[in-house]
């Protein structure tokens, strides 16, 4: 079983490979992510002729099975990555690079986790004025409106599966592969750009790119996949909790407008934005000071083939 989970570590995609992964996700995952929930709806009798003739009702069927739709979509690139890794692991000259090899410097797990939690919350407020320029997609309005009726399904897909799947694909595979090959800046920025593109809407894409740069930098400096999964979880779960805790919030309105309606003034909004900027700046200073500056764990070890038992392709480095 441990050998099964090591296979993806042999796949170190470059720019071309990362584009291929994104296409597999968008095309193959998009098709399967729609077919399976609709097939389940058809089996249950929910998929009537009326539903099939109205796109908005079909979209509601998918939203009602959000976790199934998301899992069906994301399992496709994960399988693809495993298959390519399995093929490459058969090459005795192919050295793996671990997906997770934590080196957190002077931090312990709790102190690093606490700093990342605060920074994630702060960054969400720093980015909110930018996000407010773009309309929220209708699919997300439907999702937030369904939080009250299907909280488990929403949390499972948005706060649990999304961090696990997306960080494995974007940081654990694409960024790791690029870091194994060359430029740190290219690896971080390119993986963040793909992270923004895969969301397929400006409301998410621009903040996703910025957060993706932060995730990429933390992954490079710590080589901890669980650190970036935590950041992603906190970012997504806090958004769910905001709508859950304040059901009177209007999905059509901006955070500034909603907060002004709740407090009677938009002063608190700008206080939170300013506080978020201070927290993010302080966090970056601490992480930059105490995390390893130039970790070498993303570089594959040289493989010297001097005999049939010299190198085991299932062995991690």
The string of pLDDT tens digits covering residues 126-182 is: 998 888 777 777 666 666 666 666 778 888 999 999 999 999 999 999 999 999 988
CA dihedral over 206, 137, 261, 150, signed as positive or negative: negative
The string of pLDDT tens digits covering residues 231-249 is: 999 999 998 888 777 766 7
pTM, to two decimals = 0.87
For residues 84-111, give the mean pLDDT: 94
Mean of per-residue pLDDT scores for the chain: 85
Task: Find all residues with CB under 8 Å of 180, minimum gap 6, and list them.
Answer: 12, 97, 298, 299, 300
The string of pLDDT tens digits covering residues 49-78 is: 666 566 666 666 666 678 888 999 999 999
User: Cα angle vertex 280, ends 279, 284, to 5°?
Assistant: 120
Q: Per-residue DSSP letters for 219-237?
A: HHHH--HHHHHHHHHHHHH
For residues 98-103, give the mean pLDDT: 95
């Amino acid at each position: 079983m441990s050998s099964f989970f090591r296979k993806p570590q042999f796949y170190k995609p470059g720019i071309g490979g990362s584009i291929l992964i994104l296409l597999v996700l968008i095309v193959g995952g998009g098709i399967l992510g729609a077919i399976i929930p609709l097939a389940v709806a058809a089996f249950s009798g929910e998929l009537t002729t009326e539903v099939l003739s109205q796109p908005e009702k079909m979209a509601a069927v998918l939203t009602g099975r959000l976790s199934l739709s998301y899992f069906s979509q994301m399992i496709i690139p994960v399988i693809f990555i495993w298959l390519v890794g399995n093929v490459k692991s058969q090459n005795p000259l192919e050295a793996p690079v671990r997906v997770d090899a934590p080196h957190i410097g002077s931090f312990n797990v709790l102190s690093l986790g606490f700093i990342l939690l605060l920074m994630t919350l702060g960054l969400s407020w720093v980015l909110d004025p930018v996000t407010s320029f773009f309309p929220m997609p209708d699919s997300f309005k439907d999702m937030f409106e369904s939080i009250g009726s299907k909280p488990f399904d929403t949390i499972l897909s948005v706060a649990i599966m999304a961090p696990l799947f997306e960080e494995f694909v974007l940081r654990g595979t694409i960024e790791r592969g690029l870091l194994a090959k060359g430029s740190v800046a290219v690896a971080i920025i390119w993986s963040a750009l793909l992270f923004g593109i895969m969301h397929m809407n400006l409301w998410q894409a621009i903040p996703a790119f910025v957060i993706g740069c932060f995730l990429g930098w933390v992954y490079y400096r710590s080589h901890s996949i669980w650190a970036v999964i935590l950041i992603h979880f906190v970012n997504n779960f806090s958004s769910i909790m905001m709508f859950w805790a304040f059901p009177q919030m209007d999905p059509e309105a901006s955070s500034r407008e909603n907060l002004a309606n709740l407090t009677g003034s938009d002063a608190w909004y700008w206080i939170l934005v300013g506080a978020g900027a201070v927290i993010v700046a302080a966090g970056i200073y601490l992480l930059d000071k105490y995390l390893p500056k130039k970790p070498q764990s993303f570089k594959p070890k040289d493989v010297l083939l001097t005999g049939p038992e010299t190198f085991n392709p299932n062995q991690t480095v």
